[in-house]
Structure 1
Amino acid sequence: MAVHRKPRQRSLSGHTARTAATLALAGAATATGFEGTGHAEPQLTPAQVKAKVDQLYQEAEVATEKYDGTKEKADATQRRLKALQDETARKQEKLNSARDALGSIAAAQYRDGGIDPAWQLALSSDPDQYLEDAALAERAGDRQAGAVTRVRRQLREIEQLRGAAHVELTSLRSRQAELKRQKTAINGKLGEARQLLDRLSPQQRAAVTSSDGSGRASRSAPDARAPLSQGSVAAPDSRAAAAVSYAYAKLGSPYVWGATGPDSFDCSGLAQAAYRSAGVSIPRTTYAQINAGRRVSRSELQPGDLVFFYSGISHVGIYIGNGQMIHAPNPSAPVRIAPIDEMPFAGATRVV
């Protein structure tokens, strides 16, 4: 009978022991993080946070302008689809009435039995009256044929309307999907910026989100309109003056991407709302607004001109004179007055 011996465990020694010890230490370091320092992200200075947050806000604003443009197209598509559906319903109602009329004619013919006209003439007790009735019937037949033709035409029109509505519906669904993607991108950028700002102290955060990064409070109170009321810089006409006045009245309003007022705005939404208050319609997005009037140089700027920033034309403000503008900066700051040289200048447009 065979004897089964328990295998003898080999002791760790030499190189094997050193390797095991190294692995154990590495495991412990991973598990404990050396008291949290193993995977710690590098601590950013307030200046580095400001640079990163500014970049994220600018990227979010590019995405916001794309969202605004897509939303505008989606809304237009929705209106066209609704008009097509309403027109289809109206034509369907007319078609149903025409079909009912044809059904009544067909039922009357069935009741008459469809007797051959020659026999009807031979059997008539009043041939002259029959001939007169036959002429009326022939004209009625012509009207019936016309009614059939109209029904067929209405059917074709309804099918064309339904085809057009299907195209618009497909386009709308595509734009709605694009809106969802753009919204996700915007929220991602803004969320990342919030996380960075949350790492700072209140004083540091105030400095980072101030207009010039110095920590000085930006001018966002209604009394900031004083320079304009003193007449130091006059708007070129009443509509530009009305747009500037509207912008002053909205100082302190929160920035909300996609908003066009009256209580919150994004940058192009503020510009559009200001000119809408003056009775002037301008496009929704910055890259369309820059072409909404006559281009002017920086040295020619007058109050009411729209000033644009960044190479992608992703930000806009309303010029108020003396190198200043009113704009909706980003989610960390309300509508406020700021110098136009705080961002890369891309051009200006005089709307009226």
Structure 2
Amino acid sequence: MGSGKRTLTTAAIALVCTVTVLGAPGAAYASPGRPAPKPAPAGDPGATGTDRLEAVREKLDQLYHDAAVATDEYNAAEEKTQQQSAQIVGLAREIVKGQEKLAWLKNRAGAAARAQYRGGGLPPEVRLWLSDNPQQFLDSAGTALQGERATEEMMAEMTRTQNDLKQYASDASAEWTALEANRKTKAAAKQKIEKQIDAAEKLQSQLKKQELERLRNLEDEAAYKAQTAWLGSGILKDINGKASEKDKRAVQFATDQIGKPYVWGAVGPKSYDCSGLTSQAWAAAGAPIPRTSQEQWKQLKHVAIKDMRPGDLIIYFPDASHVAMYVGDGAIVHSPRPGRTVTIAGAGSMPILGVVRPDA
């Protein structure tokens, strides 16, 4: 990481750490690069619109949350689609190989049948009676018996190959059906995402520049209150886990992406959604993990918050619809939502569902 990026990251973490030190109610907290939120004074004429803007903030939170849930559905369907496509290609290759093998077996069976025809198809006792050299006949009879056994095995192999081909065809059909179903799921999820984001953008477009600034201030206040409450529990004094080498590589990758925009469904390198960032960070660290936040929550090892260490993933909201990477000192790096960029924030600024460890 270049010195400029390192300075930015260090400064951002230090800003969040300020909340750690001043974790009592009334301590200053702000998103990196922004001044601390200042509630409108009671005598401010604009204060009368605060309730309305708070309602807008809550509505936006809900819209973007619903978009995040739909994004997880889309990403899961996309991952399954890729897996199913690969399985169909694999089955197609097996079918081709099976057809080639069956053709070869049929050719061998035909050659054996033609050889038997040239022998006249006479019973063995007749051929012995007609033979000028009985010993030679007996020797050839042993060879013929071996040939008959080989033919039986070949016919059994043909039957097995035909059955395999039927199974491959059946599996391919089932995978194709599932693929089509997942494509529909993905398309429906995409519509949900676009609908929620469009509604959020339309809602924000109705606000004046000053109202948008106050709205952002309200967002910072909400994050500050949540972070302060989390720190006020004293949890941070119990968190002292040491990062592994893979943890450090994952954190390095994630923090290197600071400033890149959130784009739903994106896995880099120019943009990321929340789980796109965490999954790519851990892939870069040499430990691939599930693509979506919900699957990360389901499949990775759960650890207590007090035991978490840099590199662990914090899963947010009861439906596991958001994920961030813990970087230490009460801070996370994450890709928040549409209209935002990858940034450092307080680990307690959103409702925590739990913590998972990718390299357990």
Q: Smaller-chain TM-score range?
A: 0.7 to 0.9
Q: Deviations over 1:144-175 (max 9, x none)?
A: 22211221122122222222222222222222
Say if 2:302 and 2:354, in contact at 8 Å, map to a contact too: no
Quote the offset at 1:316 in angstroms.
1.3
Say if 1:209 and 1:333, in contact at 8 Å, map to a contact too: no
Please tell me whether residue 76 in structure 1 is matched to residue 76 in structure 2.
no
Please tell me whether residue 285 in structure 1 is matched to residue 284 in structure 2.
no
Say if 1:253 and 1:264, in contact at 8 Å, map to a contact too: yes
2:208 is matched with 201
Q: 1:77 and 1:209, CA in 2 relative to 1: closer, same or farther beyond 3 A?
A: farther
Say if 1:306 and 1:350, in contact at 8 Å, map to a contact too: yes
| Residue 63 of structure 1, aligned match among 53, 57, 70 | 70
Whole-angstrom distance in 2 between the partners of 1:191 and 1:208: 18
Structure 1: gaps of 5 or more residues: 1-43, 215-232
Q: Deviations over 1:79-105 (max 9, x none)?
A: 333333322322221111111111122
1:16 is matched with none
Please tell me whether residue 328 in structure 1 is matched to residue 338 in structure 2.
no
1:1-352 matches, cutoff 5 A: 45-205=52-212, 207-208=214-215, 212-213=219-220, 236-290=243-297, 292-297=300-305, 301-352=308-359
Whole-angstrom distance in 2 between the partners of 1:107 and 1:311: 72
Structure 2: gaps of 5 or more residues: 1-50, 222-239
Q: 1:121 and 1:323, CA in 2 relative to 1: closer, same or farther beyond 3 A?
A: closer
Q: Deviations over 1:194-248 (max 9, x none)?
A: 222222334544554579357xxxxxxxxxxxxxxxxxx9953332222222121
Q: 1:130 and 1:278, CA in 2 relative to 1: closer, same or farther beyond 3 A?
A: closer
Q: 1:150 and 1:303, CA in 2 relative to 1: closer, same or farther beyond 3 A?
A: closer
- The secondary structure found in structure 2 opposite 1:320 is strand
Aligned AA (1:137):
A
Aligned AA (1:151):
M
Aligned AA (1:93):
E
Q: Deviations over 1:31-90 (max 9, x none)?
A: xxxxxxxxxxxxx95443332222100111011122222333333333333333322322
Whole-angstrom distance in 2 between the partners of 1:279 and 1:75: 21
Say if 2:241 and 2:307, in contact at 8 Å, map to a contact too: no
- The secondary structure found in structure 1 opposite 2:333 is strand
Decide which moves more: 103-112 or 91-100.
Answer: 103-112
Say if 2:57 and 2:218, in contact at 8 Å, map to a contact too: no
Aligned AA (1:303):
P
Say if 1:294 and 1:349, in contact at 8 Å, map to a contact too: yes
- The secondary structure found in structure 2 opposite 1:311 is coil
- The secondary structure found in structure 1 opposite 2:183 is helix
What TM-score do you get using the length of structure 1 for normalisation?
0.72
What TM-score do you get using the length of structure 2 for normalisation?
0.71
Say if 1:260 and 1:270, in contact at 8 Å, map to a contact too: yes
- The secondary structure found in structure 2 opposite 1:349 is strand
| Bigger-Rg structure (1/2) | 1
Aligned AA (1:106):
A
Quote the offset at 1:329 in angstroms.
0.8
Q: 1:282 and 1:211, CA in 2 relative to 1: closer, same or farther beyond 3 A?
A: farther
Q: Deviations over 1:281-302 (max 9, x none)?
A: 32222223235234222x5554
Aligned AA (2:108):
A
Say if 1:46 and 1:200, in contact at 8 Å, map to a contact too: no
Whole-angstrom distance in 2 between the partners of 1:83 and 1:323: 46
Q: 1:247 and 1:122, CA in 2 relative to 1: closer, same or farther beyond 3 A?
A: closer
Q: 1:113 and 1:336, CA in 2 relative to 1: closer, same or farther beyond 3 A?
A: same
- The secondary structure found in structure 2 opposite 1:342 is coil
Aligned AA (2:88):
L
- Larger RCO (CA within 8 A; separation ≥ 6): 2
Decide which moves more: 76-85 or 56-65.
Answer: 76-85
- The secondary structure found in structure 1 opposite 2:261 is coil
Q: 1:124 and 1:251, CA in 2 relative to 1: closer, same or farther beyond 3 A?
A: same
Number of corresponding residues? 290
- The secondary structure found in structure 1 opposite 2:219 is coil
- The secondary structure found in structure 2 opposite 1:290 is helix
Aligned AA (2:301):
G
Q: 1:252 and 1:110, CA in 2 relative to 1: closer, same or farther beyond 3 A?
A: same
Whole-angstrom distance in 1 between the partners of 2:217 and 2:336: 10
Q: 1:108 and 1:211, CA in 2 relative to 1: closer, same or farther beyond 3 A?
A: farther
